[in-house]
Chains A and B, each alone.
Chain A
Amino acid sequence: MIEQLSWKVGGQQGEGIDSTGEIFAIALNRLGYYLYGYRHFSSRIKGGHTNNKIRVSTKEVRAVSDDLDMLIAFDQETIDVNAHELHSRGIIIADAKFKPVKPEYCQATLVIIPFTEIATELGTSLMKNMVAIGATSAALGIDTATYQAVVEEIFGRKGEKVVNNNMEAIQRGADAYMSSVGDSVQTLSLKKADGKNRMFMIGNDAIALGALAGGARLMAAYPITPASEIMEYLIKKLPEFGGTVVQTEDEIAAATMAIGSNYAGVRTLTASAGPGLSLMMEAIGLSGITETPLVIVDTQRGGPSTGLPTKQEQSDLLAMIYGTHGEIPKIVIAPSTVEEAFYDAIEAFNLAEEYQCPVILLSDLQLSLGKQSVEPLDYNKINIRRGKLNDQEIAEREDKSYYKRFEITDDGVSNRVIPGTKNGIFHVTGVEHDETGKPSEVPQNRKDQMEKRLRKIHNISFQNPIYKAAPHAEADLLLIGFNSTRGSIEEVMPRLEADGLKVNHAQIRLVHPFPADELKPMLQAAKKVIVIEHNATGQLASLVKMNVGYGEKIESLLKYDGNPFLPGDIHQQCKEMLANGHI
């Protein structure tokens, strides 16, 4: 019996590889397994190798596994590209149609099943995916009836016949596998799961659900990988709440439209990736100087320019913190799990209104698109705080002067009035302005307004700005990361401990303003520090050095080839870095 399985299905893009993985994963999630899926895909609709690697475990997992137990291949390329991941006890189940051969080095067992032929016999070759699922189930000792409900949900509207055909395809796949290999399947039998109900979702689902729970009622966005799922979810859901998603002509329109509707009192977001964020920079400055709340999700992908649009990277970090010309208050949050993405999305709207500034919810492709089992979210943790949003009647002023929307205050935050409010008229401009919003170039006013805006975020209240797993008062090694690297780092910790090292872990969740005071003791308590991030220049390491210091202890472990860190990568490289005395 195994407690964990690493399974991958691959073929040509457009062949239904995603849905094969999806049906398999949903069914297993319902049995109570923890799932973690990561898709390899290209920026094209049809053609090109694609695969979906899914980890099934009886314990929570948040990282792509180092190796592979089972590979389902719909073409030879899938075997050629992925066979190296298989360990010697692994199994390849391949479609007879392409006459599969395994590379010489590969010691895994190759089982050939006529996926396409069986599917064609049953009516359509499209069902080859279901045949493959059946074969997988037989190999894992999972009852084919497990899929009944999922198949009904997916194909039910096409009628009973289609449902039955698909179920038969699954059964035929299982039968074909059994008759082909017989009893040797036992080695991969999965230990029974706990049977608990969990959600199966990607980070973008959590962000979108968080936006909805956090009171967002409008979204303005332009489609882009890997952010589009957020707008696609919200366009389905917002109309139930009176709102909508406007698909704009570009990201500049998306950001400025969101500014317009936030100004007019509706929590509005936009979401994009690096190229879109580059276009939004001027608007982010406008939100900053006009003190208009704005929530922007940045799902990082490989840059620069179009870069690696479907690949993992974390290279927008410094641009998100420092981007836009001029100086503004800004908050940048980087959730490190899907659960955090949900709660942080809600918090992003609260902070945007409390501090009246842009808030960037930073994600990365692995967090945004990695699909995983998530414990039910806590309704009682949802709260909505709108800060100094005026809800009182405003007395008429004799002199008809404008409302002091940008009044100088101790905490820098002024009362916010939304258009339509009686006697609340004020002016808003991206030009430097006085307390009523009228343009002003008076040097003292400039100084006062600039300082007012910047001091708003000096003492922001943010729960758990750092996720800490720090069992040691004195550590040999401190690992630091942000966003999705948390899953891999967590898996490496026990391995490094097993090597005899005392290791602490800090995942930075609030990247701006940087939680220096909170991180400092962890750096002090560590002999060596490795900052792990998906970029080529060590952006997070620079932030740590700049804000906290200890540069002499800090070394970077970087990956920017487009693929997520595997726990094994990190383990190996940390050991090498320590052994070579780099740090």
Chain B
Amino acid sequence: MATFKDFRNQVKPNWCPGCGDFSVQAAIQRAAANVGLEPDDLAVISGIGCSGRISGYINAYGFHGIHGRSLPIAQGVKMANRDLTVIASGGDGDGFAIGMGHTIHAMRRNIDVTYIVMDNQIYGLTKGQTSPTSAEGFKTKSTPSGSIESSLSIMELALSSGCGFVAQSFSTDLKDLVAIIEQGIQHKGFSLINVFSPCVTFNKVNTYDWFKQNLVSLKDIENYDPHNRMMAMQTLMEHNGLVKGLIYQNPNRPSYQDSVRGYSSSALSKQDLTLPEEKFTELMAEFM
């Protein structure tokens, strides 16, 4: 059985020292081992940006695609081979700006993919511009007078998009993060895990300390019920989205694969492609 070390490859990440993404990488590796995966069973599909490089840093089938499109690629992989565990990953710009359309529709569609976003509220790789999760007033190279656009409430948006697994975590809480990723992988359907992963180089506001001071753990909220969507929405609004833990899960919603009529119960990629002659004759006759 594989251990988390088997999910390591020899590539040294090009992230800045202290970047939150290191722990996310480690958490994925640990969670994959903990749920009993072998590296060959896992596909990590990532977008573009600092965090998008993650697919190259994990010993698994990795696909580093184009900006904002990790989700459609990941959904395609899962549809082709349902035996694979598919993790999609990227940053807040990748998933909530250029790729936002895909994020919402992936949540609606509910193909069994675990989407892990490393949210640092800034564009890092392009050296410090505002992001959709940047707070109003946030000063960056592209918002020198402070951002005048409102910040996205991504967890609220996930709830309203029908996402069946909505969670938020913080990159330094390795133990909790590993547990949440395990749950996400095991959830039958799409799961969104937004991880606050501070950018130590360009974001001097949303720092490790800032999150430690501002994040509220759902464990500390008395009688919090992650199966209650209304309570989830209310809690998010009360805390301006700054909560961590499993926010909402609907274990009853069937995944897309389990709902598609006729969809192969085994990996589609292993199917024989031959069309029997009788079948072909029958198909032609329909046009006669």
Residues of A within 8 A of B (CB): 29-30, 197-201, 205, 209, 212-215, 217-218, 220, 237-244, 246, 248-250, 252-254, 256-268, 282-283, 286, 290, 374, 376-377, 379, 382, 384, 400-402, 418-431, 437-439
Q: Does B269 contact A (CB under 8 A)?
A: yes
Contact B66–A256 (Cβ < 8 Å): yes
Given that A200-B288, A425-B39 are contacting pairs, would A265 and B81 also be in contact in the complex, using a CB cutoff of 8 Å? yes
A contacts with B: majority SS:
mixed
Contact A260–B80 (Cβ < 8 Å): yes
Residues in B with CB closer than 8 Å to A214 are 273
Contact A286–B66 (Cβ < 8 Å): yes
Contact A209–B283 (Cβ < 8 Å): yes
Contact A420–B83 (Cβ < 8 Å): yes
Residues in B with CB closer than 8 Å to A268 are 76, 80
Q: Does B56 contact A (CB under 8 A)?
A: yes
Contact A220–B72 (Cβ < 8 Å): yes
Query: What is the CA–CA distance of A241 and B266 in the complex, to the nearest angstrom?
Result: 12
Q: Nearest Cβ distance between residue B121 and chain A, in whole angstroms?
A: 25
For chain B residues 196-245, which have a beta carbon within 8 Å of chain A? Answer: none
B126-134, B183-191, B256-264: which one contacts chain A? Answer: B256-264
Query: What is the CA–CA distance of A331 and B7 in the complex, to the nearest angstrom?
Result: 37
Contact A264–B269 (Cβ < 8 Å): yes
Contact A253–B273 (Cβ < 8 Å): no
The CB with the most chain A CB atoms within 10 A, among B11, B79, B261, B283, is that of B79
The CB with the most chain B CB atoms within 10 A, among A262, A266, A400, A437, is that of A266
Query: What is the CA–CA distance of A258 and B72 in the complex, to the nearest angstrom?
Result: 8
For chain B residues 70-116, which have a beta carbon within 8 Å of chain A? Answer: 71-81, 83-84, 101-102, 104-105, 109
Q: Find B261's partner among A239, A425, A427 (CB 8 Å cutoff).
A: A239
Query: What is the CA–CA distance of A29 and B72 in the complex, to the nearest angstrom?
Result: 43
The CB with the most chain B CB atoms within 10 A, among A30, A261, A402, is that of A261
Contact B69–A283 (Cβ < 8 Å): yes
Contact A253–B81 (Cβ < 8 Å): no
Range for the number of chain B residues in contact with chain A = 35 or more
Beta-carbon nearest neighbor of B260 in chain A: A244
Residues in B with CB closer than 8 Å to A246 are 75, 79, 109
Contact B72–A257 (Cβ < 8 Å): yes
Q: Does B60 contact A (CB under 8 A)?
A: yes
Residues in A with CB closer than 8 Å to B280 are 213, 377, 379, 382
Q: Does B63 contact A (CB under 8 A)?
A: yes
21 CB contacts below 8 A, A to B, read A212-B283, A215-B274, A242-B264, A244-B263, A253-B101, A253-B102, A260-B73, A268-B76, A286-B65, A379-B281, A384-B274, A418-B81, A419-B43, A419-B84, A420-B61, A420-B83, A422-B40, A425-B40, A427-B64, A428-B62, A438-B11
Beta-carbon nearest neighbor of A383 in chain B: B274
Residues in B with CB closer than 8 Å to A263 are 63, 73, 76-77, 80
Beta-carbon nearest neighbor of B111 in chain A: A246
Residues in B with CB closer than 8 Å to A282 are 66
Contact B262–A244 (Cβ < 8 Å): yes
Q: Nearest Cβ distance between residue A110 and chain B, in whole angstroms?
A: 36
Q: Nearest Cβ distance between residue B270 and chain A, in whole angstroms?
A: 8
Beta-carbon nearest neighbor of B62 in chain A: A427
Q: Does B55 contact A (CB under 8 A)?
A: yes
Contact B76–A264 (Cβ < 8 Å): yes
Contact B56–A198 (Cβ < 8 Å): no
Q: Nearest Cβ distance between residue A455 and chain B, in whole angstroms?
A: 24
Counting from the closest, the 6 A-B pairs by CB-CB distance are A260-B76, A239-B262, A215-B273, A242-B264, A265-B269, A264-B80
Query: What is the CA–CA distance of A200 and B260 in the complex, to the nearest angstrom?
Result: 30
Contact A198–B288 (Cβ < 8 Å): yes
Contact A248–B105 (Cβ < 8 Å): yes
Contact B66–A420 (Cβ < 8 Å): no
Beta-carbon nearest neighbor of A286 in chain B: B66
Contact B277–A379 (Cβ < 8 Å): yes
Given that A264-B84, A286-B65, A379-B281 are contacting pairs, would A242 and B271 also be in contact in the complex, using a CB cutoff of 8 Å? yes
The CB with the most chain B CB atoms within 10 A, among A30, A264, A437, is that of A264
Query: What is the CA–CA distance of A376 and B264 in the complex, to the nearest angstrom?
Result: 30
